[in-house]
Amino acid sequence: MNIDEEKCIGCKSCIEACPVSPPVIGFKDFKAFAEHPDECIHCTACAMRCPVNAIELGKREGETY
């Protein structure tokens, strides 16, 4: 997971969309960051919810898409 801090507008939509508890994404200094990236289930909810496309999910190990 990569969060572009330059694009992030601090709306917290990604955190609200994350189904993992606690959320994979944290918030500090008005910007989102990958707080628990190893817990990410790659559901894409955060990336789809981001209004400025600041989140990019990489491939998980073994994926071929």
| C-beta separation of 35 from 45 below 8 A | no
Task: List the pLDDT tens digit at each of the 65 positions of the chain.
Answer: 899 999 999 999 999 999 999 999 999 999 999 999 999 999 999 999 999 999 998 766 665 54
Task: Look at residue 58 in the predicted model and tell me its pLDDT.
Answer: 79
Antiparallel, parallel or unpaired: β 31-34 and 2-3: unpaired
Domains, in order of start, for the chain: 2-56 (3.30.70.20)
